[in-house]
C-alpha cells in the first residue's frame, strides 16, 4: 500500500475512533447512535442468527433485476437516441432531470460513449469493407466500452439506492423495510447493524468497480 492509502485509512479510522469515543463518553446519546464497535458486534450476531437471510436475498434479487433491466433498456435506448439526433435534442432536458434513475444513467453513458467514438474508426471499417454488425461489435463497442463501464457502475449504485429507498416506503420485506421496522420499534441495535451491513456491502462493491475501472483506464492510456 502506498502512502496515500495509509493516510486515507488513518482518516477513516480516526473518524470511526472519534465516533466511538463520542458515543462511549456520552456526547452522543445511546438513543441517537450506538458505538461503532457495538454496531459491528450486533451485525455479527444478526448474520449468525440467520434472521435476515431472506431479506438480504430479496434485496439483492431486486437490485439484480433492476440493474439488468436498466442496463439492457438503457443501452438500447441510448443507441436509439443516438441514431435520431432530433429526438435526442428534444429529450435532453428530460434526461438531465431524471438521471438519478439507473435506466437514464445508462442511456446517458451510452450516448456519451457513442459520441466519443473516433471518426477514423468509420474509415477503418469502410476500408476493410466490414459489415455494419461487425463494425458495431468489433470497433464501436470496444471504443465506447469505458463510457459504458462508467454507466454500468453508476447503474449498480443507483439500483441499490432505488431498491432500498422503495423498500423503506413500499415493501413488507427486504433490508430497507427491516431498517425502517427497527427504527419504528426503537430497536437501535438491529437498525444500526443493518445500516452498517448495507453501507459496507455497497461500499465494497463500488470500491471494487472503482479500482477495476482505474486499472482499465491506465491500461488504455498505456501507462
Nearest to 60 by CA among 174, 177, 195: 174
The answer to whether 188 touches 34, Cβ cutoff 8 Å, is yes
Show contacts with another protein in window 174-213 (CB under 8 A): 176, 179-180, 183, 191, 195, 198-199, 202-203, 206-207, 210
∠ CA(9), CA(13), CA(15), 5° rounding?
Answer: 120
Show contacts with another protein in window 67-86 (CB under 8 A): 86
Cell 433498456 belongs to residue: 73
Task: Tell me the closest approach of the beta carbon of residue 183 to another protein, in angstroms.
Answer: 4
50-69 footprint of another protein as x/- string (CB under 8 A): --------------------
- In this chain, which stretch among 26-34, 69-77, 106-114, 127-135 interacts with another protein, using CB under 8 A? 26-34
Judged by CB under 8 A, does residue 92 bind another protein?
yes
Judged by CB under 8 A, does residue 31 bind another protein?
yes
- Residue 101 contacts by C-beta under 8 Å, 6 or more apart in sequence? 70, 158, 162
State the number of binding residues for another protein (CB under 8 A).
Answer: 42
Cell 502512502 belongs to residue: 3
Q: Which is nearer to another protein, 125 or 197 (CB)?
A: 197
The answer to whether 138 touches 130, Cβ cutoff 8 Å, is yes
Judged by CB under 8 A, does residue 160 bind another protein?
yes
Alpha helices of the chain — where are they, by DSSP H? 3-25, 36-49, 53-83, 85-97, 102-115, 120-127, 132-135, 141-170, 175-184, 188-220
| Residues engaged in binding another protein (CB under 8 A) | 4, 7-8, 11-12, 31-33, 86-87, 89-94, 96-97, 99-100, 154, 157, 160-161, 164-165, 168-170, 176, 179-180, 183, 191, 195, 198-199, 202-203, 206-207, 210
Amino acid at each position: 500500500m502506498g502512502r496515500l492509502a495509509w493516510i486515507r485509512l488513518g482518516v477513516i479510522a480516526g473518524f470511526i475512533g472519534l465516533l466511538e469515543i463520542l458515543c462511549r463518553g456520552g456526547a452522543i446519546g445511546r438513543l441517537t447512535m450506538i458505538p461503532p464497535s457495538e454496531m459491528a458486534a450486533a451485525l455479527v450476531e444478526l448474520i449468525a442468527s440467520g434472521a435476515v437471510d431472506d431479506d438480504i436475498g430479496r434485496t439483492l434479487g431486486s437490485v439484480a433485476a433492476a440493474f439488468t433491466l436498466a442496463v439492457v433498456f438503457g443501452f438500447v435506448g441510448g443507441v436509439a437516441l443516438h441514431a435520431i439526433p432530433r429526438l435526442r435534442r428534444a429529450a435532453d432536458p428530460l434526461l438531465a432531470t431524471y438521471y438519478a434513475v439507473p435506466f437514464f444513467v445508462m442511456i446517458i453513458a451510452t450516448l456519451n460513449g457513442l459520441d466519443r467514438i473516433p471518426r477514423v474508426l468509420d474509415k477503418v471499417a469502410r476500408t476493410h469493407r466490414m459489415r455494419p454488425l461487425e463494425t458495431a461489435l468489433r470497433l464501436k463497442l470496444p471504443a465506447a466500452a469505458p463510457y459504458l463501464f462508467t454507466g454500468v457502475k453508476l447503474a449498480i449504485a443507483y439500483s441499490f439506492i432505488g431498491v432500498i429507498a422503495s423498500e423503506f416506503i413500499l415493501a413488507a420485506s427486504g433490508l430497507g423495510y427491516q431498517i425502517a421496522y427497527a427504527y419504528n420499534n426503537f430497536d437501535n441495535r438491529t437498525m444500526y447493524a443493518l445500516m452498517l451491513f448495507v453501507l459496507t456491502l455497497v461500499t465494497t462493491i463500488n470500491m471494487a468497480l472503482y479500482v477495476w475501472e482505474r486499472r482499465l483506464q491506465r491500461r488504455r492510456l498505456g501507462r
